[in-house]
Amino acid sequence: MKLTGQSFFQAITFGAALFASSQVSVAQDAPSAPMVSIAVAHTEGLVLEATFIGRGKAIDKVDIVARVSGFLQDLLVKNGADVKKGEVLFKIEPATYAANLAARKADKASAVAQLKLAQIELDRKSELLRRESGTVADRDIAQANFQVAEANIEIADATIQLAELDLSYTSVAAPFDGRIGRANPSVGELVGPTTAPLVTLIRTAPIYVEFSLTEKQLVNFLQVHDASLENLANGSKALDVFVSLPNGTQLEEVGHIVFADNRIDPETGTVSLDVEFPNDNGLIFDGSFVSLRIEDNAPTDALLIPQAAVQRDQRGDFVLVVGAEQTVEQRYVTLGRQDGVSVVVDDGLVEGEAVIIEGLQRVRPGVEVNAILAGSATSAEGN
C-alpha cells in the first residue's frame, strides 16, 4: 500500500517529543523496574482499502437455441472455441426450407399473373361502361377482383419473407463475440425450438465481478467515501478496484463499479454491486471466485502502531500502554488493516500514547517500568 505524509522515522521522532512533553522519562535511576522498549502511536496518511470476495459474471450469456426444426447437418466450430459475432456455429439441413422458399416464390409469380388478368378485366369493364355497353356492377366486380389480386401479391411477399427467414435460421450464428461451451447435440440429431439448447455462449471480455455488501457495510462504505451509490457507479467518486485471482495473482488491470442495486435483499440483508474489468487475458471466468480490493481516491489519516505491540486474549486484541507515571496499562483496541510492520488502530488509542513493543514478557498491568524509545518499529525479540 502507498503511504503518504511523514515517514515512520519522522513519526517516531514526533512521538518522542510528545512522549517527552507528557513527562514519560527514560528511567535510568530505577534498576528494579524492568526495562521495556516503546513506540508512539502516530498518524500518517494512508490510502485505505477494503477487501471483498466477488464472483465472475459474464456481461452477456445466452443459450443458443435452434429457431427452426430439422436435422443437424454440420457443427462448424470446436467445443470451447472463441468465436466472433456473426460466425456460423451450426448448420441445420436446409433442403426443406429452400424448397418452401421456392414454392412461395412460385405463389408470388402466380399472384402477379392473376393481378395482370384482373387489370385487363378491370380496363375492359371500365371501357364498356364508358361506352354505355356495360353496367356499373360489372365494373365494380372487376375493381374488387383487381384489389384482391393486389392483396395476394402482398401476401406472397410476406410468405417469401417468412420462408427466407426460416431458411436463414438453418445457419446458426454467434450473436456476439465470446466463447462457446460444449455442444449438446450431435450431427444428425433432430433439433428445434423445443429441444435442448445447442450450446451456451459467454462474452469473456469485458466481464463483471459481482460482490455484496451487508447493510452495515454499505452505510459505512458510503459514509467513509461521502458518496451515494449513483456516483460510486461510474460517477464523480468512482473508485479503483483491483482483482486477485484464486492463485493469489493480482491483475494489473483496473476495474470500476458500474452497477449498484437499488434495494437491500430482504432474504440476505445485502446489496449487490458489479465491477467491470477489461479481462483482456481472459483470466476471470464466469462463476469464478476472486478477491476484490477497493482503494480510496485520496489518503486518509490513520493512527498507526507497530504490529509487535499487539497481543490477543479471549476478549480480543490489546496493547500495553505506558502512562505518565511509567506504569503499565492494558488497553483493548480495535484494529484496522495491516500496513507493512504497522497496523491501523481504529479505536482504543490516541495519538502520542506509548505502547510496549519489547519486553512484553517481563511486565504486567499496574507495574512501573523503565521505558526507552525504540530505535525502530521492528518486532521485539522474545516477544
Interior angle at CA 19, CA 13 and CA 24, nearest 5: 140
Which phi-psi region, left, alpha or beta, contains residue 326 (left: φ > 0; alpha: ψ -120 to 50)? left
Mean pLDDT of the chain: 85
Tell me the one-letter amino acid at 298.
A
Name which of 84-88, 187-191, 260-264, 354-358 the model is least confident about.
260-264
* Domain boundaries 35-44+302-373, CATH class: mainly beta
| Cα 69 off chain centre by | 37
Rounded distance between C-alpha atoms, residue 107 and residue 156, angstroms:
6
- Sequence-distant (6+) residues with CB within 8 A of 39 are 12, 15, 305, 306, 309, 354, 355, 357, 373, 374, 377
Count the alpha carbons within 13 Å of 32 in the hemisphere toward its beta carbon: 2
Give per-residue pLDDT as tens, 76-112: 999 999 999 999 999 999 999 999 999 999 999 999 9
Nearest to 377 by CA among 297, 299, 310, 283: 310
Q: Does domain 66-196 have CATH number 2.40.50.100?
A: yes
What pLDDT does residue 2 have? Answer: 43
Nearest to 210 by CA among 95, 61, 318: 61
3-state secondary structure at position 356:
strand
Q: CA 294: distance to chain centroid? A: 12
Cell readout for 368 is: 512501573
**How many C-beta atoms surround the C-beta of residue 290 within 10 A?**
21
Three-state secondary-structure class, residue 185? coil
How far the first Cα of the chain sits from its last, in Å, is 26
Q: Which fold has domain 51-58+203-295?
A: Elongation Factor Tu (Ef-tu); domain 3 (2.40.30)
- 225: pLDDT strictly greater than 60: yes
What would the pLDDT profile of 341-364 be if each residue is shown by its tens digit?
A: 899 998 999 999 999 999 888 889
Give the integer Cα–Cα distance in Å for 261 and 210. 11
d(CA 324, CA 22): 6
Query: Would you list the domain boundaries of the chain?
Result: 35-44+302-373, 51-58+203-295, 66-196
Confidence (pLDDT) at 24: 44
Three-point CA angle 239, 276, 50, nearest 5°: 40
Taking only the tens place, the pLDDT of each residue in 283-309 is 999 999 999 988 766 677 889 999 999
Count CB-CB contacts under 10 A for residue 209: 26
Identical fold at 51-58+203-295 and 66-196? no
Instruction: State the pLDDT confidence band at 17, using cuts at 50, 70 and 90.
Output: very low
Residues recorded for the chain: 383
Q: Report the alpha-carbon distance of residue 361 to residue 279 in Å, rounded.
A: 51
- CA triplet 142, 143, 146: central angle to 5 degrees? 85
pLDDT score of 32: 72
**28: number of CA atoms within 13 Å, CB side?**
2
Distance CA 210, CA 257 (A): 9
pLDDT confidence of residue 1? 44
Alpha-carbon distance 177 to 353, whole Å? 60
